[in-house]
Amino acid sequence: MATSQTNISATFKTILFATDFSPCSSSAVPYVSGLAHCFDSRIIAVHAVPFEPLSGLTAVPPALEFDMEWRASLQDMRTYEASDPFAGLRHEFLLEKGFLRDVVTNVVAQKHVDLVVVGTHGRQGFHKVFGGSFAEELLRTVDCPILTVGPGAHHTTPADSWKPRRIVFATEFDGGSLHALPLAIALADANDGSLLVMHALPLVPWEQQNDLNGPYEQRLRNLVSEDLPHHCSVDFTVQFDLAAPAILSVAEETEADLIVMGVHHARLPKIDAHVPGTTAAEVIANARCPVLTVCG
């Protein structure tokens, strides 16, 4: 069954970069710059300062002039601005009070953001259970596409050199991934690249795999129909493995520059961000390239 057209395009006029000034955030800068150079995008670098009550007093946040965390973050932002991470590109810096998810959601709506970029340390297992993942909280709640740069992503130099030419698109034939497919095609087209469309089938006995390969590959081919015109090269593969290991293996074998996949909306974002073992979290934590997600 062919997917329908969507309004998603690969024209990123405004890119929101969420930073906490950490090495994880710094690792995402080359990808922000690469996309901005490619699409002549405006970059908004935002840092969120969470609400913190005065110690020992009420739960009411202190005024900014008495908020030590705000003052420290303001100094960090000034230092970051002085480092000029986006030289030669149109950009601005924002310091906002509030929790990261709320700040990003508000800026996306107010500034008409087309893409959010975030770096993450890729917590897994018990670390994720107790610490949670801001990146996963964002990618499951923010409506626009999100590019997440995990700890294994290769750093690219110079800053404007990264272009997603070899793209792996992983689909479960569900709403989220079908919304992500037009974006994957548009990005491959914009960069004269190639697209590998894949689906993973777990726990299939080897003697049944040949019988299933043909029908599932045809389902993949049906997704890229006349409704989605393209000039990039497109190939298809069915993998008999769990979703995350299959996606990571294919991306490694093809030396992918980008993985694109759909994710489901979180019903309880703060709780869901602590759930270990999700496919998206495992892929982001272990991929050697950024992961672009579309929530649907």
Please answer whether residues 35 and 7 qualify as being in contact, where contact means their C-beta atoms are separated by less than 8 angstroms: no
Task: Check if the beta carbon of residue 292 is closer than 8 Å to that of residue 259.
Answer: yes
pLDDT attached to residue 140: 80
Give the angle 192-142-195 at the CA atoms, nearest 5°.
20
pLDDT tens for residues 210-260? 999 999 999 999 998 766 778 899 999 999 999 999 999 999 999 999 999
Decide if 212 contacts 171 (C-beta within 8 A): no
pLDDT class of 53 with cuts at 50, 70, 90: low
Percent of residues, the chain, with pLDDT higher than 90 = 57
Judge whether residue 159 has pLDDT over 70: no
Tokens representing 251?
A: 């991306």
Query: Model confidence at 131, in pLDDT bands (50, 70, 90)?
Result: very low
Sequence-separated (6 or more) residues with CB below 8 Å from residue 102 = 48
Q: Which residue in the block uniquely carries the two structure tokens 């509030």?
A: 98
User: Taking residues 98-109, what's their average pLDDT?
Assistant: 92
Mean pLDDT over all residues of the chain? Answer: 84
Q: How confident is the model at residue 188 (pLDDT cuts 50, 70, 90)?
A: very high
Q: Output the pLDDT for position 76.
A: 93
Top-ranked range on mean pLDDT: pick from 125-139, 178-192, 269-283: 178-192
* pTM of the predicted model as reported, rounded to 2 decimal places: 0.86
Of 106, 110, 232, the C-alpha closest to 165 is 232
Which residues are registered as beta bridge partners of 76? none
Dihedrals phi, psi of 28, to nearest 5 degrees: -85, -15
Omega of the bond prior to 158 within 30 degrees of 0, cis?
yes
pLDDT at 272 over 90: no
pLDDT at 266 over 90: no
Cα torsion through 72, 103, 18, 93, rounded to 10: -60
pLDDT at residue 135, as a whole number: 77
The residue among 175 and 192 whose pLDDT is bigger is 192
Instruction: Indicate if the pLDDT at residue 127 is higher than 70.
Output: no
pLDDT of residue 5: 39
Angle between helices 279-286 and 243-254 (to 10 degrees): 30
Q: Is the pLDDT of residue 157 over 90?
A: no
Q: pLDDT, tens digit, for every residue of 4-52?
A: 334 445 679 999 999 999 988 999 999 999 999 989 999 999 999 987 6
Is there a contact between 294 and 176 (Cβ–Cβ < 8 Å)? yes
What region, left, alpha or beta, does residue 167 occupy, with left being phi > 0 and alpha being psi -120 to 50 degrees? Answer: beta
E strand intervals along the chain? 14-18, 42-49, 91-97, 115-119, 146-149, 166-170, 194-200, 233-239, 258-263, 291-295
pLDDT(68) > 50: yes
As a whole number, mean pLDDT of residues 263-270 equals: 64
